[in-house]
């Protein structure tokens, strides 16, 4: 029995197709803008500025980065428009989605007065959000212009906070949260979204940049080894944030483990969890198998193997993770409602014991990630200094060989 058939039989309200497409598209837009700008700022840009980077490879990577970021701006703009129209349709109580695309309908929605008890009109929040979205999109799209590409670093670093502000402003409540749980819901939701889109979007941009028909220079392997190493730390932080925030959100919406397969919401959530765990598993494989091999190639100055690992093998693995990430984004629009409400359970209310269990989970997760990193470092050093291998040079140090995708 399919998930959609279960949705109909279990009283679950299946979102219309336009809602699924606009919501998934919106998160794809955020992944492109936030994920690409963060990854460029903390992984690509520092590696390009390294003294050992070959000038020809740097020029090619800068050009491809500018093109990717420019298209990310276009996707963000289009996705933002359709997401705004979807909000109009949802507020219109049965309004066809086609009608919500009208500028007049959108204008009425944005200028509607504040609801009773609200400190600000919902339309005002969306106006601010979409003004920032437009600014981020225009900043990125400017990179289509050859003259603007000379200022790639400045434009990317300008678009980064603007892109982050798009989702943060959209989460601003129009009424004061009634309790601490509501505040944690908002914070956890934004932490989950931002860490998720940075993770998925970062994988996508690096896989795209590493895929090229041009024959790379001899120094490209070393350059990309540095990029994968730098992104690994970002991915590691994102994994921790996704799992931590996901634990809180899952507890709020799922009252018992059995609800993961006895309710429609739970089934979709279970599908999402399995996809995320598959991404983490793929990252773990990279960490314990691929990164030590890269460290060995660097230690031996084996440019041929380094090129193969960083620009042939690694991107193939990452493209698989991107496909899993895309599947996660496709599932997200179906997570509407709550398994608790489907099962007839009351809403979740936090307590001291709940926070104690959560704190224990966070500490355990942090410890496991730390052990994972240390184990990966040890494997990399052991591989690089195995019998028959020369002593690693400073530039080939395998330290910080955390997973490139998890």
Lowest mean pLDDT among 213-222, 249-258, 347-356: 213-222
Q: Taking CA 173 as the corner, what is the angle to CA 171 and CA 179, rounded to the nearest 5 degrees?
A: 115
74 burial type by CB count under 10 A (0-12 exposed, 13-18 middle, 19+ buried): middle
Instruction: Tell me the CA distances in angstroms from 147 to 59, 67, 173, 223, one per residue in order.
Output: 15, 13, 40, 26
pLDDT tens, 145-183? Answer: 999 999 999 999 999 999 999 999 999 998 888 777 788
Residue-level pLDDT at 406: 46
* Alpha-helical regions (H) of 300-351: 303-308, 314-331, 339-342
Regarding predicted confidence, which is higher, 283 or 37?
Answer: 37
- What is the DSSP code string of 124-193? HHHHHHHHHHHHHHHHHHGGGSHHHHTTHHHHHHHHHHHHHHHHHHHT--SS--SSHHHHHHHHHHHHHH
Question: Could you state, in order of their start, the residue ranges of all structural domains in the chain?
Answer: 3-396
Angle between helix axes 152-170 and 17-30 (nearest 10 degrees) is 140
DSSP 350: -
Query: Which tens digit of pLDDT belongs to each residue from 58-110?
Result: 888 999 999 999 999 999 999 999 999 999 999 877 789 999 999 999 999 99
For residue 11, the model assigns a pLDDT of: 59
Distances (CA, A) of 386 to 2, 292, 300, 310, 398: 51, 11, 11, 21, 13
The model's pTM is: 0.86
- Nearest 5°: CA angle at 318, between 305 and 230? 75
The per-residue pLDDT for range 308-344, each reduced to its tens digit, is: 788 777 888 889 999 999 999 999 999 988 888 888 8
Assign 218 a pLDDT band (cuts: 50, 70, 90).
low
Taking CB atoms within 8 Å and a gap of at least 24, the contacts of 248-251 are 248/184, 248/185, 248/188, 248/358, 249/185, 249/188, 249/189, 249/192, 251/348, 251/354
| Cβ neighbours of residue 146 closer than 8 Å, sequence gap 6 or more | none
- Give the pLDDT confidence of 234-275 residue by residue, as tens digits: 888 899 999 999 998 988 888 888 899 989 999 999 999 999
Greatest Cα pair distance, the chain, in angstroms, is: 75
Of 109-113, 154-158, 294-298, the one with minimum mean pLDDT is 294-298
Degrees, nearest 5: CA angle 74-76-80 = 120
Cα(403)–Cα(406) distance, rounded to whole angstroms?
5
Q: Give the per-residue pLDDT at 307.
A: 77
Provide the terminal-to-terminal Cα distance of the chain, rounded to the nearest Å: 33
Instruction: Kindly calculate the radius of gyration of the chain based on its CA atoms and give it in whole angstroms.
Output: 23
If you average pLDDT over every residue of the chain, what do you get? 84
According to the model, what pLDDT value does residue 115 have?
84
Over 70: is that where the pLDDT of 2 sits? no
Q: Are 311 and 200 in contact (CB under 8 A)?
A: no
């Amino acid at each position: 029995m399919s998930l959609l058939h279960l949705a109909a039989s279990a009283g679950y309200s299946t979102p219309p197709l336009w809602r699924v497409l606009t919501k998934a598209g919106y998160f794809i837009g955020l992944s492109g803008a936030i994920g690409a700008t963060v990854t460029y700022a903390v992984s690509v840009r520092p590696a390009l500025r390294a003294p050992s980077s070959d000038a020809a490879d740097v020029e090619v990577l800068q050009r491809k980065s500018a093109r990717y970021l420019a298209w990310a701006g276009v996707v963000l703009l289009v996705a933002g428009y359709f997401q705004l129209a979807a909000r109009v349709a949802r507020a219109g109580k049965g309004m066809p989605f086609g009608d919500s695309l009208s500028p007049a309908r959108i204008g009425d929605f944005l200028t509607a007065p504040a609801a009773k008890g609200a400190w600000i009109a919902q339309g005002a929040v969306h106006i601010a959000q979409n003004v920032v979205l437009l600014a981020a999109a225009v900043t990125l799209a400017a990179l289509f212009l050859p003259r603007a590409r000379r200022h790639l670093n400045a434009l990317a670093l300008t678009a980064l906070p603007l892109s982050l502000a798009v989702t943060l402003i959209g989460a601003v409540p129009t009424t004061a949260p009634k309790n601490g749980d509501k505040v944690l819901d908002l914070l956890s939701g934004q932490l989950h979204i931002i860490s998720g889109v940075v993770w998925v979007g970062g994988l996508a941009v690096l896989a795209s940049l590493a895929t090229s028909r041009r024959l790379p220079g001899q120094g490209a392997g070393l350059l990309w080894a540095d990029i994968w190493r730098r992104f690994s730390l970002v991915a590691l932080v994102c994994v921790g944030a996704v799992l931590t925030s996901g634990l809180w959100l899952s507890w709020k919406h799922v009252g018992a483990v059995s609800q993961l397969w006895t309710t429609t919401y739970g089934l979709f959530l279970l599908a999402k969890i399995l996809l995320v765990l598959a991404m983490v598993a793929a990252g773990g494989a990279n960490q314990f198998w691929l990164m030590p091999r890269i460290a060995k190639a660097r230690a031996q100055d084996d440019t041929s193997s380094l090129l193969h690992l960083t620009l042939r093998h690694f991107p193939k693995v990452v493209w698989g993770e991107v496909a899993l990430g895309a599947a996660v984004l496709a599932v997200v629009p179906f997570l509407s409602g709550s398994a608790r409400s489907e099962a007839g359970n009351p809403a979740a209310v936090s307590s001291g014991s709940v926070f104690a269990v959560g704190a224990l989970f966070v500490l355990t997760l942090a410890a496991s990630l730390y052990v994972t990193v240390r184990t990966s470092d040890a494997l990399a050093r052991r591989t690089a200094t195995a019998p028959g291998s020369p002593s690693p040079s400073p530039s080939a140090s395998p330290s910080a060989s955390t997973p490139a995708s998890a």
